Amino acid sequence: MSKNLTNLIRSYSSRQNYKSDLSKYDKQIFSGIQPTSIPHLGNYFGAIKQWVDMQNSLSKDQDTRPMIISIVDLHAITLPKDPRILNDYIYKCAATLVSCGIDPERNILYQQSQVAYHGQLSWILGCKVTMPQLGRMHQFKFKSDGLAEVPLGLYTYPVLQAADILLYRATHVPVGEDQLQHLELCRTIADKFNNTYSTNYFPSPIPLQGEFTRLKSLRDPSKKMSKSDADSNSRIELVDPPEIIEKKIKKAVTDSERLISYKPDKRPGLSTLIDLECAVTGQLPEEVAERCMLQAIDKSEYKKHVSKLLIEHLAPIQAKYKKLINDKKLLDDILDDGAKKANKIAEKNFHDICKIIGSR
């Protein structure tokens, strides 16, 4: 393994001790994002920016595989979606990723449904999973709670996710805390497949987790910032214009204290704003709070400061996005080229898998 890749993996190593012998596998990073709305700051700082950092580290090595990033539209339809809105968000998601710095020339950026092998492998892997295993998934319990009818796709979501990862024999997966359980199931499925067929074909992928603090909702800091939140004021989307950013930050829930301090437990709303500044500047929360105290900055001033930081940080991303989103042909070319590259890998691997299970 190259020095750059070794250092990269070490810097994003999971907080838990995942044991896997990956010495016999080519190192492959895979990640995915649902096209369910415009990515927000939580998606950007928690995932997309990390992908860009990984891309830039990997590109220094000539012998490393390109990172694979999938716009997972099949996952997006596990709950009802208007086809026109889904189609629109696929383009917007692709445009946003490229605008943030994902280079389709250096990575494989593609649309999940354009590689049919995902669904085919999902069926094979589903035969290695039990219903109790799927029923224990926290995400399933959360998303199915209160539904009169629970779609099968929501139940089997983690199996398709495992297929997404294992189809490319990914060894490392950037993943958020809320998806760790799914990755653990993926590891279990890979081990079960290998043991059943006396092979070591699938690696047991290791999660990559950065140190970034998960951003909270601007309206309810007891919850994470989420694309699925019905209140659009709870999040700042990457393409929000300056006046909307100012409005959302101004409306952000804080408390009755006037001055600034960083206390996530006692002052979660204000602490979320400090986390936003730290995400942009790389400072520690305590440093930000100390500066604000020394300068006697009050909440009103601080909200204006955070708004200005975010507007300046997002300006180049938004400028590139405006050009890309109006060039559907270029976006089609990017996704089609990515699908071609992904299919080439997937076809070979799926053929190997079919041989292993005896189908031909």
Per domain, the residue ranges of the chain are 26-214+327-357, 242-325
Determine phi and psi for 70, rounding to 5 degrees.
Answer: -110, 130
Question: CA dist 260 to 10, 16, 250, 268, 278, Å?
Answer: 35, 34, 15, 12, 14
* pLDDT at residue number 12: 60
* pLDDT at residue number 131: 95
CATH topology of domain 242-325: Tyrosyl-Transfer RNA Synthetase (1.10.240)
Dihedral angle sign, alpha carbons of residues 180, 182, 187, 192: positive
CATH class of the domain defined by 26-214+327-357: alpha beta
* pLDDT at residue number 7: 60
* pLDDT at residue number 60: 62
Question: CA dist 315 to 212, 244, 246, Å?
Answer: 22, 13, 14
* pLDDT at residue number 18: 72
Per-residue exposure over 138-167, b if at least 16 CB sit within 10 Å of its own CB, e if not: eebeebbeeeeeeeeebbbbbbbbbbbbbb
Give the β-pairing of 206-208 and 172-174: parallel
* pLDDT at residue number 206: 95
Question: CA dist 231 to 234, 238, 254, 255, 291, Å?
Answer: 6, 16, 17, 20, 32
**Tens place of pLDDT per residue across the chain (360 aa):** 555 556 656 656 555 567 678 889 999 999 999 999 999 999 999 999 999 999 988 866 655 789 999 999 999 999 889 999 999 999 999 999 999 999 999 999 999 999 999 999 999 999 999 999 999 999 899 889 989 999 999 999 999 999 999 999 999 999 888 889 999 999 999 999 999 999 999 999 999 987 766 899 999 999 999 988 999 999 999 999 999 999 999 999 999 999 999 999 999 999 999 999 999 999 999 999 999 999 999 999 999 999 999 999 999 999 999 999 999 999 999 999 999 999 999 999 999 999 999 997
* pLDDT at residue number 11: 58
Which tokens is 12 given? 């994003």
* pLDDT at residue number 109: 99
Give the whole-angstrom CA distance, residue 245 versus residue 238. 10
* pLDDT at residue number 20: 75
* pLDDT at residue number 17: 64
The residues annotated with a catalytic role in the active site are: 143, 224, 227
* pLDDT at residue number 59: 65
Give the whole-angstrom CA distance, residue 29 versus residue 65. 8
* pLDDT at residue number 112: 99
pTM (2 d.p.)? 0.91
